[in-house]
Amino acid sequence: MNKIQTPVAAVVVMACNRADYLERTIKSILKYQNAVASKFPLFVSQDGSDPQVRKKALSYDQLTHMQHLDSKLVQTERPGELIAYYKIARHYKWALDKLFHEYKFSRVIILEDDMEIAPDFFDYFEAAAALMEKDKTIMAVSSWNDNGQKQFVHDPEILYRSDFFPGLGWMLTKPTWNELSPKWPKAYWDDWLRLQENHKGRQFIRPEVCRTYNFGEHVDWKSKDLSYLMEDKYIKLFAEILKNAKPINGADAVLKASNVQGDVRVHYEDQPDFERIARQFGVFQEWKDGVPRTAYKGVVVFRYPPPRRVFLVGPKSFELLGIKSV
């Protein structure tokens, strides 16, 4: 008897009016998806009626094309706002409702039409799906690191928890969508997901090395034990690594960090102080609802220079991590 394969997740590419970009993205996905097509069925969700995008999507028999035709007038809430942000939010809600409620998938991976995926993209998400089943404090898993430029990364096998939703190639589950769908915002859905009232203290898994551009690394995720990412273990592990990092103080953090052997930590006092230090290193300065981009318990970690880790540590981070004194 043939055992019916239960899909790990549907993969949907969100497209609008860039047929050339879409072709490049689809080719990148099919390169690695063909071998796991039954586990990761592929969809293109097209917003609007661009004939070239429709033609391109329909030219592939390895995927299902969905088309969102919405003629309702968009009312922006503030003068001068781009209508596109409202259209994008509508399209996301329509596509995710369809995949979760009509097609009845238990998980969906969302990609945009200007992404290429890494060779281990599908293995990564399969391993992450098992982790999400065990740990309900994980709201979504992303393939993206905002500070993932090559000068800030080193280890393709390391994953992190974060309080900041990264987006850009991410997976969520049906129960999470059932919670978000009824209150989905009119625009700026990604920033909306970064608000405490919506993520409710749940966290996001992100890699050190991005999985949404080709970098040639291929990790055997099936053989990796990801239990260190479970909330109870991770907080202790992260606290231990942070405690062992050497503190550096005062001005010229970059210069001092470069002259110290091993991992270092730099403490910041508030958002302006964080922005000043982040600017020196060249990493993201942005915050949303009190959380710096990529942060876990107020701590932003990156390599500088690789393989040394630099931890930018917030005023409450030690307390949140249960670190008494160092």
Local structure of residue 150 (DSSP, 8 states) = G
Q: Could you tell me the CA-to-CA distances from 65 to 41, 68, 129 in Å, in that order?
A: 12, 10, 25
User: Which one is catalytic: 190, 191, 225, 232?
Assistant: 190
Q: Could you tell me the CA-to-CA distances from 207 to 137, 142, 157, 188, 259 in Å, in that order?
A: 17, 7, 8, 24, 27
Distance from C-alpha of 232 to C-alpha of 84, rounded to nearest angstrom: 41
Q: Please report, as a single letter, which amino acid is at residue 102.
A: E
Of all helices (H) and strands (E), which one includes residue 42? strand 42-47
Distance from C-alpha of 258 to C-alpha of 296, rounded to nearest angstrom: 23
Check: CB of residue 220 under 8 Å from CB of residue 123: yes
The angle formed by the CA atoms of residues 92, 93 and 95, to the nearest 5 degrees, is 65
Residue 190 a catalytic site member: yes
- Which residues are the active-site residues? 190
